[in-house]
Amino acid sequence: MMTQNLGASRSAQSEAPGGVGGSALLCWTEPACERRRARIWWALRAQRVEEAEVAGLALSSVSRRTPGASSVLRAEEKSDCIQTTSCQERKKDPIEMFHSGQLVKVCAPMVRYSKLSFRTLVRKYDCDLCYTPMIVAADFVRSAKARDSEFTTNQGDCPLIVQFAANDARLLSDAARIVCPYANGIDINCGCPQRWALAEGYGACLINKPELVRDMVKQVRNQVENPRFSVSIKIRIHDDLTRTVDLCRKAEATGVSWITVHGRTVEERHQPVHYEAIKIIKESMSIPIVANGDIRSLKEAENVWHITGTDGVMVARGLLANPAMFAGYEETPLKCIWDWVDIALELGTPYMCFHQHLMYMMEKITSRQEKRIFNALSSTSAVLDYLTDHYGIDRTS
């Protein structure tokens, strides 16, 4: 599996591990022996005995590489990738999907969580469209390090929307141009209610600045040549819904491709989602609308789709708890947990992220005592041993 980081320098890339087809190995913060053990374990489980044997040798040199070398694409591979994944060739077009009349099932942007490994997992379980975590456009444009750490993708990671936090049309369009060859579109975060974001002029404060939203959309449209490259926004609603409808109409007139509506106001946290408001917004617009908020199962997704009349549903916490929910599973199946292990190890996922996702997924299927033990584990191999001891290696259930 070939993986792309955008910010890595050529020299760092040329030193990247090439022994596993360009895949990242494991978290660099772990001791080399942990990585070796986990990788051999993974290869054996996948019945790649030969690879496991090679891993025993190949990984002995990993500890000499610098953390920068965890960028997983060699320079010459990167140029191939740019050609083969250019947006013109991206087959699954989200805009066409929204106009198909079918329910479009979307994985929400989630800071720290909706990264390449997790996107790969949910796509395996009927997720139609994935968003990256929110990335601050200004940092992304200015810093190669930010690009390298914030955005990783590969050829299977499609269709993909890159979400940006932005308050400046020029910077946003520069960021859009950078990701254009690797993604189907960008999304502007107009819903984040966190204090730091509001203080910077990002997120939910944009629902009160329709002119700025319009300028940002226009600038991206002008700067990105591909007309199929989507520009969407994700919003929260106002107390006065006429203001939300006004914002959406202005955005539509500027050329926004679709709008995701989290049916809560900026002040609301755990209050019930206002699906009625989402329905009114949908009825006022011609472009696709995606409903978001408190959807925990496929049944609930279909119900929200029906009652709001929207074109798709977006899910965040429901997918963290059960990445297989769009495929109709009521609880995370064991198979999905093993899939996560395989994907995370193959793509190279930092331990904290690897473990945290498992904690979310296993929340409902473990007792309190089991949780205490599992949550305290601090290495990949301890997690692998725990899973093998408790659940065996049967991947079918």
> At 21, which amino acid appears?
G
Stretch that binds ligand FMN, among 35-43, 97-105, 291-299, 339-347 (CB under 6 A): 291-299
What sign for the dihedral angle of Cα 244, 246, 250, 252?
positive
Residue 295 interacts with ligand FMN (CB under 6 A): yes or no = yes
Residues 6 or more apart whose Cβ sits within 8 Å of residue 1: 21, 22, 23, 154, 156, 346, 347
Measured from the CB atom, the residue of 121 and 134 that comes closer to ligand FMN is 134
Residue 189 interacts with ligand FMN (CB under 6 A): yes or no = yes
Residue of 7, 17, 22, 109 that binds ligand FMN (CB under 6 A): 109
Shortest approach of ligand FMN to residue 371 CB, angstroms?
19
Measured from the CB atom, the residue of 7 and 109 that comes closer to ligand FMN is 109
- Exposure letters 354-386 (e unless 16+ CB within 10 A, then b): bbebbebbbeeebeeeeeeebeebebbbebbee
Residue of 128, 148, 294, 346 that binds ligand FMN (CB under 6 A): 294
**Residue 45 exposed, middle or buried by CB count within 10 Å (0-12, 13-18, 19+):** middle
If one counts every other C-beta atom within 10 angstroms of the C-beta of residue 29, the result is: 10
Residue with token string 């914002």: 247
Stretch that binds ligand FMN, among 63-71, 106-114, 172-180, 240-248 (CB under 6 A): 106-114
**Window 44-103: residues binding ligand FMN (CB under 6 A):** none
Binding mask 239-268 for ligand FMN (x = CB under 6 A): -----------------------x------
Is residue 192 part of the annotated active site? The answer reads: yes
Residue of 292, 310, 322, 332 that binds ligand FMN (CB under 6 A): 292
* Catalytic-role residue among 192, 205, 248, 336: 192
Shortest approach of ligand FMN to residue 353 CB, angstroms?
12
Residue 36 interacts with ligand FMN (CB under 6 A): yes or no = no
Q: Rounded to a whole number, what is the largest CA-CA distance in the chain?
A: 65
Residue 144 interacts with ligand FMN (CB under 6 A): yes or no = no
Residue of 8, 26, 40, 110 that binds ligand FMN (CB under 6 A): 110
- Contact of 340 with 121, CB cutoff 8 Å: yes
**Window 116-135: residues binding ligand FMN (CB under 6 A):** 133-134
Residue with token string 């050529």: 10
In this structure, which long-range contacts are made by residues 143-151, counting pairs with CB atoms below 8 Å and at least 24 apart in sequence? 143/7, 144/6, 144/7, 144/8, 144/9, 145/7, 146/7, 147/5, 147/6, 147/7, 147/178, 148/5, 148/6, 148/7, 148/8, 148/71, 149/7, 151/5, 151/6, 151/7, 151/179, 151/182
Measured from the CB atom, the residue of 6 and 165 that comes closer to ligand FMN is 165
Measured from the CB atom, the residue of 73 and 291 that comes closer to ligand FMN is 291
Shortest approach of ligand FMN to residue 293 CB, angstroms?
5
| Angle at CA of residue 199, ends 198 and 203, nearest 5° | 25
| Angle at CA of residue 159, ends 285 and 133, nearest 5° | 85
Shortest approach of ligand FMN to residue 316 CB, angstroms?
3
Residue 315 interacts with ligand FMN (CB under 6 A): yes or no = yes
Stretch that binds ligand FMN, among 82-90, 309-317, 367-375, 382-390 (CB under 6 A): 309-317
Shortest approach of ligand FMN to residue 296 CB, angstroms?
8
- Residues lying near ligand FMN in the complex (CB under 6 A): 108-111, 113, 133-134, 163, 189, 191-192, 234, 262, 292-295, 315-318
Known catalytic residues? 192
